[in-house]
Amino acid sequence: MKRAITEQDIDRLAKGGRLVVTREMLLTPAAREYLSRRGISVDYETNTAHARERISEGDLASIIEQVVMEELTSPESSASNSGRSPAPQAPQQVPTVQKEGESDHRYLGRVLDALPQSDLSENRAIVTVVGQNSPGIVARISTAVAQCGGDLADMNQVIVGDYFSLIFVVNLGGLESAGSSFRLFKERLQNEASSIGCVKTLVMHEDIFKAMHKV
């Protein structure tokens, strides 16, 4: 389980205008707002190399095995990893033994449930740009995304005649460490898009889509 970090926790945890966020910590929206209000910078102590990479399905099984072994063999190292966290988490109870008679996919499901979720998967924006087709649009927009600390997760492009519609799915996990915020990110993209003649730019947080489409 991740631990939610609220406004009250921040005063306790932040040292010298810096807050170190470990994998086990989850900032609430109010806490994020509080951080930016107080001008506290956020450092993400990452061990999320796996999450950042695109994983092919074939590699999944071996990665799971590797993570399970890591969690099992070195609970101390994972605790020291989050050593700056004042309340160290209990080690994840990742199942390592397939029960008798348990099917493979049920076992895999149990393993996946027990693994920590990636922070990055919980904060994305959907960026939609519509306009007249001209070269370099994707490059311009994606550069702006990167400069704000965003990370492209997915992209889709439809071209009809002279017009195109682009949809980017952007991970926002790096926005704060790049000194940006959702509002600045949105403004930046809208300015960028209108400067290259796009007629419509929508920047929407992913949660509204999830609310409507995922149960």
Partner 1 sequence: MLLTMKEIHETIRMIESENLDIRTVTMGINLLDAPSKEVDALCRFVYDRIYERAQNLVGIAQEVEDRYGIPIVNKRISITPAALFCNGLRSVEEFVAVAHTLDRVAQDCGVDYLAGYSALVHKGVTAADQMLMDAIPHALSSTNRICGSVNLGTTKNGLNMDAVRHMGHVIKDLASRDPRAMGCAKLVVFANAPEDNPFIAGAFHGTGCADVNLNVGVSGPGVVRAALERARNQGRLDDFRSVTELIKKLSFQITRAGEFIGREVATMLGEPVQFGSIDLSLAPTPAIGDSIADIIEILGIESTGAPGTTAALAMLVDAVKKGGTMASSSVGGLSGAFIPVSEDQGMVNAVARGSLSLEKMEAMTAVCSVGLDMVAVPGSTPATTVSGIIADELMIGVINNKTTAVRILPVPNTKPGDRVDLGGLLGELIIMPLPGFSSEGFINMRGFIPAPIHSFKN
Residues lying near partner 1 in the complex (CB under 8 A): 29-30, 126, 128, 153-154, 156, 167, 169, 182-183, 186, 200, 202-214
Shortest Cβ 137–partner 1 spacing (Å): 18
What does the alpha-carbon distance between residue 193 and residue 198 come to, in Å, rounded to a whole number? 5
Which residues pair with residue 42 across a beta bridge? 19
SS (H, E, C) 170-203: EECCCCCCCCCCHHHHHHHHHHHHHHCCEEEEEE
Shortest Cβ 212–partner 1 spacing (Å): 4
Using the minimum distance from each CB to partner 1, give the nearer residue, 7 or 70.
7
Shortest Cβ 7–partner 1 spacing (Å): 10
- Give me the phi and psi of 93, to 5 degrees please: -85, 80
> Do 164 and 195 contact (CB within 8 A), yes or no?
no
Using the minimum distance from each CB to partner 1, give the nearer residue, 146 or 167.
167
Shortest Cβ 186–partner 1 spacing (Å): 7
What does the alpha-carbon distance between residue 198 and residue 123 come to, in Å, rounded to a whole number? 26
Shortest Cβ 117–partner 1 spacing (Å): 11
- State the sign of the Cα–Cα–Cα–Cα dihedral 115, 40, 126, 135: negative
Shortest Cβ 195–partner 1 spacing (Å): 20
Using the minimum distance from each CB to partner 1, give the nearer residue, 6 or 73.
6
Using the minimum distance from each CB to partner 1, give the nearer residue, 1 or 211.
211
Which residue in 140, 190, 198, 148 sits closest to 171, CA to CA? Answer: 148
Using the minimum distance from each CB to partner 1, give the nearer residue, 135 or 214.
214
Q: Are strands 3-5 and 25-27 parallel, antiparallel or unpaired?
A: parallel
What does the alpha-carbon distance between residue 208 and residue 65 come to, in Å, rounded to a whole number? 34
Using the minimum distance from each CB to partner 1, give the nearer residue, 22 or 32.
32
